[in-house]
Amino acid sequence: MNASDEIADISQALRTQTVECLDYLILEGSPSGYVQFPSPWEPDMLPGELPAELFSEAVSNEYLEAPYKLSAKQESTLRKLGWNDPGDVSSATIVSATSPNWWRVFPLGSDDRFHEIAVAAHATLVEVYGHQGTLVITMAD
């Protein structure tokens, strides 16, 4: 599958996860990296309503095995792609905790943004984690 097809699949999965209130969307690149999106739904949201933001995490060294640990250069690339270091995520308006993973908040608000978020997630898998093989998309409710 080429990058354009993978990005289209990610975009569709993001929309499905958001609209259908699924708990998690996990994008697993080969050989080791993943980007995940927990459910953005809040109890006061109406069916079909899109949240203003999507919170996302990219796997950190805490969960990567020795041959796949991120180098300083890979961590620098994460920062350049807009990811925040693992730790305090209280500055994110939709969560108030800590994350052991790299994290990022994507503005949403409209269907058009799903494609842009998919492009960013795919770039992370390719540029940081070296994704080249089959992309695995998992949705859980």
CA distance 40 to 22: 9
pLDDT band per the 50, 70, 90 thresholds, residue 110: confident
HSE at residue 93, side-chain half, CA atoms within 13 A, is 6
Residues 128 and 74: beta-carbon distance below 8 Å: yes
pTM of the model: 0.90
pLDDT tens for each residue of 44-77 = 777 677 788 888 999 999 999 999 999 999 999 9
Burial class of residue 80, CB neighbours in 10 A (0-12, 13-18, 19+): exposed
Residues 24 and 34: beta-carbon distance below 8 Å: no
